Structure 1
Amino acid sequence: MTAQIDLSLYRPNVGVALFHPTDGRVWLGMRHKQEPPYNWQLPQGGVDEGEDLETAARRELYEETGVKSAQLLGRTEGWLTYDYPPEFMGTKRARGYLGQKQVWFAFRFTGDEGEIDLAAHGDIEFDAWRWGALDETPELIVPFKRGVYERMVAAFSGFARTA
């Protein structure tokens, strides 16, 4: 029997896998001023009180990448959770959260790469970006988020294939 997770102890969050318009790679951002090896991730962020999850995903995508031109492909079902490690004493843990609960969205980028602007919002999340393989993302992310990334990759692997 699996123990139920108290989702109220997890900060609501959305993640975005932005797929290249033609070849199925995903957009990867190098986290601002974070040293390797685990300094790449996909866009993600918190959900505002009362905010629709897809709206939150589009807002976070724009704030972190400047991208507005994106077609919805799909989303994960239910919440995917991860716990903050004990040494993670950031503001989110201080507010009483054990970790984050996420819904992931897959979008196809429909714009021109000139639209990508890492300073679009003013609060810089990423120093650089590149297109990469979806299945490489779990190895690039900090270990405590890896399980969620593996489940996201499994859910979105069909979008990574080209026709």
Structure 2
Amino acid sequence: MIDPDGYRPNVAIVLLNEDGKVFWAHRANQDGWQFPQGGMRTDETPEEAMYRELEEETGLRSHHVEILGSTPGWLRYRLPNRYLRRHHKPLCIGQKQVWFLLRMLADDSRLALDATDSPEFFEYRWVDFWYPVAHVIPFKRRVYQRALTLLEPMASTG
């Protein structure tokens, strides 16, 4: 699903553990690390998509987490030209995302990166809250900075 402006609706998940560290995962078959994220289906709300993506990418279910908050409205990023799939119609020029901040209520043994037949990640680590901004693929850095700026107050009060 691509909106009229060329953006794919998406959700992103910042998962906090009890130590205030965030879940940072290594993409399968790629060098990149990122937060869990994924596209929304036409019949899903952002929250429904978030829970589906959470389970697909981490194995966690709704009772394993608590929602601390989300970003107001959409945060957008554009894809670099080399990532544009010009043969796909309509053309997707980037993603628009609602970001969710979750507190993990379960222990790490509940994490399962192989919850689906096509895992998104093959390893993870817990990192400091701001670490991902400097270590995500460069074209996503601005949206990561914006999202974490909006979510940080919720992390300290949650």
TM (normalized to structure 1)? 0.87
Give the gaps of 5 or more residues in structure 2.
Answer: none
Describe how 1:1-163 pairs up with structure 2 within 5 A: 8-20=5-17, 22-35=18-31, 39-68=32-61, 69-90=64-85, 95-161=90-156
What's the CA shift for 1:121? 1.6
Cα pair 2:9 2:39 within 8 Å, conserved = yes
What's the CA shift for 1:50? 2.0
What's the CA shift for 1:159? 4.3
Aligned pair count?
Answer: 154
Cα pair 1:104 1:152 within 8 Å, conserved = yes
**One-letter amino acid matched to 2:81:** P
Deviating beyond 3 angstroms after TM superposition, the runs of 4 or more aligned structure 1 residues are 89-95, 159-163
Change (3 A) 1:17 1:93: farther
- Comparing 24-33 and 84-93, the one that deviates more: 84-93
TM (normalized to structure 2)? 0.89
Distance 1:102 1:92 in 2: 23
Give the gaps of 5 or more residues in structure 1.
Answer: 1-5
- After superposition, the CA RMSD in angstroms is 2.1
Cα pair 1:134 1:160 within 8 Å, conserved = no
Residue identity (%): 39
Cα pair 1:24 1:159 within 8 Å, conserved = no
